[in-house]
Amino acid sequence: MLYERLLKPVLFQMSAERAHHLTIGGMHKLGRLPGGTGTLRGMYGVERDPALAVNLWGIDFPHPVGLAAGLDKNAEAVRGFAAIGFGFMEVGTVTPKPQPGNEQPRLFRLPPDKALINRMGFNNVGAERMAVHLRAAGKQPIPVAVNIGKNKTTPNERAEDDYRECLRKLYACGDFFVVNISSPNTPDLRNLQHGDDLRRLLAAVKDEMAQQAKRHGETEKPILVKIAPDLTEAELPYVADTIAQSGVSGIIATNTTLSREGLTHGNRGESGGMSGLPLTSRSTDVVRRLYRLTEGKLPIIGCGGIFTARDAYDKIKAGASLVEVYTALIYEGPGLLRTLNAGLAELLRKDGLKHLTQAVGVESGM
């Protein structure tokens, strides 16, 4: 109610990127203010429901709804976001060296379509600075994933060096890691989703993870791969097989799309990746196909166009063990998290299921 009536009208009068920075700054300050996280938790926190709690890779997720990468790019507001009811969150995408990203304007709202288009270009403060932010934030009550990428100036044949460096600098700061090879806003990045490039990259990331785990005297942390929704019907099986053979822990499906199908707003002509409601069906279909292709053996995080509990539940039934939101948070506000969790619990009850895991993949066609 507070967001819908007071904050959203103000934020939507600003440019999308200015509103983004104002939101991150506000969440950062509230997270550091004495009593700030308690206030946020009281206003928006989600009570733990045993029926929705998930354990994956030995990590406890209080519920399945997380924050996708791209909002807290520099891990500046982790305390704040951890307090408003997420079950987990991603920070990043981060690159080894700081980079400014693409020229502004580079973030656009499409309100009638409940969508966003961005061509941010991995703007971030770099892995070393992010590590400082995460150490300052301390241990959080929810899992925090670090989404890693390569610098724009790094050629694909040396991409593995960038991903290794991110892991070296941030290993101690993340509960799990996400290899981003699917942003459409870094030239040629999506080419890393294919063939020998993908195989070589994931082998390097796995090797670096093993080295860092040994160095820290720990077991290896989970590595997930984030893929695009724009892979063709022929490409997806090869990508899925390469990821499965690599030994990584899971897949995030999907990133933003280059498609403009169904958009009506004038900003539809802007270049970049589109997220939001028009992506819902496509991303769910990719989840379903991945679940079948991997025979349900590789956990999937479903991401793309989740605005309602039914959207989230459809992805879970298609094969997702967890889900993520981003664009819906911009349009609906933090009250979305209570709504999604209450709705998921009700949908489980209607289907006669006692736990979320019983719904995973039931409509995958397997």
Which amino acid is located at 77 in the chain?
Answer: A
Give the pLDDT confidence score for residue 191 in this predicted structure: 83
- Contact of 277 with 113, CB cutoff 8 Å: yes
Instruction: Quote the pLDDT of residue 186.
Output: 87
* One-letter amino acid of 255: N
Distance CA 304, CA 315 (A): 9
Strand segments (E) across 79-230: 88-94, 107-110, 115-118, 144-148, 176-180, 223-227
What per-residue confidence (pLDDT) applies to 79? 97
Please state, as a whole number, how many other Cβ atoms lie within 10 Å of the Cβ of residue 135. 11
Q: Whose CA is closest to 107, among 231, 230, 256?
A: 256
Cβ-contact 257, 282 below 8 angstroms = yes
φ, ψ for residue 103, nearest 5 deg: -70, 150
Question: Over the stretch 175-227, which tens digit does the pLDDT of each residue have?
Answer: 999 999 988 888 888 888 887 889 999 999 999 999 999 999 999 999 999 99
**DSSP E strand stretches across the chain:** 54-56, 59-61, 65-67, 88-94, 107-110, 115-118, 144-148, 176-180, 223-227, 250-253, 273-276, 300-303, 322-325
Which of 15, 182, 183, 271 is an active site residue?
Answer: 183
Residue 309 has pLDDT above 80, yes or no: yes
Residue 183 annotated to the active site: yes
Say whether pLDDT at 338 is over 80: yes
Question: What mean pLDDT comes out for the span 152-168?
Answer: 96
Cα distance between residue 181 and residue 186, in whole Å: 9
Share of the chain above pLDDT 70, in %: 100
Query: Domains of the chain, with CATH numbers?
Result: 2-359 (3.20.20.70)
pLDDT of residue 230: 94
Banded pLDDT at 365 (limits 50, 70, 90): confident
Using the structure block, give the residue that is written with the tokens 């499965």: 244
Amino acid residing at 239? V
